């Protein structure tokens, strides 16, 4: 998450080196912009940035994505906790006996943790990469239709 913010900037916030961009709208377009910005509780500038960021494929987490990421975070922490317990046990054994050999149960737990982490990595990929690609493709389709009119 931090890498995405570092790469793409904090969603909806202009940076210190940002530039002002001006566009012309018809009265109907301006009214539609005002209605939409009011409904979303955003300024015109914030709404414009959000639309542009979505169209360009920047990370703009929605509530469903935030909920899914919170759930994934809990799962990853649980797997990490399991691995830490196994490592602590093996380290204690190594200090006491001079070497550590995982038991069959510990080896099974390590392998299960590896499988769980791989599954979670696939979930993260699905959530971020594929969702961003689908969203960008939808926006490109909308923009192409608008250009055909």
pLDDT in tens, 97-144: 887 788 888 888 888 888 888 888 888 777 777 777 777 777 777 767
Structural domain containing residue 75: 61-149
Using alpha carbons, select from 113, 121, 118 the residue that is nearest to residue 87: 113
The pLDDT of residue 111 is 86
On whether the CB atoms of residues 120 and 72 are closer than 8 A, the answer is yes
**Residues 90 and 44 placed together within one structural domain of the fold:** no
**Residues 138 and 75 placed together within one structural domain of the fold:** yes
Q: What is the pLDDT of residues 82-91, one digit of tens each?
A: 888 888 888 8
**Residues 135 and 100 placed together within one structural domain of the fold:** yes
**Residues 130 and 145 placed together within one structural domain of the fold:** yes
Q: Is the pLDDT of residue 11 over 70?
A: no
Return the ∠ at Cα 66 (arms to 64 and 72), rounded to 5°.
105
Residues 6+ apart with CB under 8 A from 122: none
Burial class (CB in 10 A: 0-12, 13-18, 19+), 19: exposed
The pLDDT of residue 14 is 64
**Residues 135 and 67 placed together within one structural domain of the fold:** yes
The pLDDT of residue 149 is 46
**Number of structural domains in the chain:** 2
**Residues 66 and 115 placed together within one structural domain of the fold:** yes
Strands annotated E in the chain: none
Name residue, tokens 């009011």: 38
Name residue, tokens 């009265």: 27
Neighbours of 50 (CB within 10 A): 17
Q: What is the pLDDT of residues 18-72, one digit of tens each?
A: 788 899 999 999 999 999 889 888 899 888 888 887 777 676 666 777 787 788 8
């Amino acid at each position: 998450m931090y890498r995405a913010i570092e790469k793409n900037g904090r969603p909806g916030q202009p940076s210190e080196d940002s530039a002002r961009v001006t566009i012309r709208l018809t009265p109907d377009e301006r009214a539609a912009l005002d209605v939409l910005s009011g409904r979303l509780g955003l300024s015109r500038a914030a709404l414009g940035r959000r639309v542009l960021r979505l169209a360009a494929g920047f990370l703009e987490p929605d509530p469903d994505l935030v909920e899914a990421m919170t759930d994934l975070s809990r799962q990853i922490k649980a797997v990490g906790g399991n691995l830490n317990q196994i490592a602590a046990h093996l380290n204690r054994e190594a200090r006491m006996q001079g070497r550590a050999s995982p038991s069959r149960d510990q080896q099974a737990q390590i392998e299960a943790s590896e499988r769980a982490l791989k599954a979670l990595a696939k979930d993260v990929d699905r959530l971020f990469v594929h969702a961003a690609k689908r969203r960008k493709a939808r926006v490109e389709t909308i923009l192409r239709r608008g250009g055909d009119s």
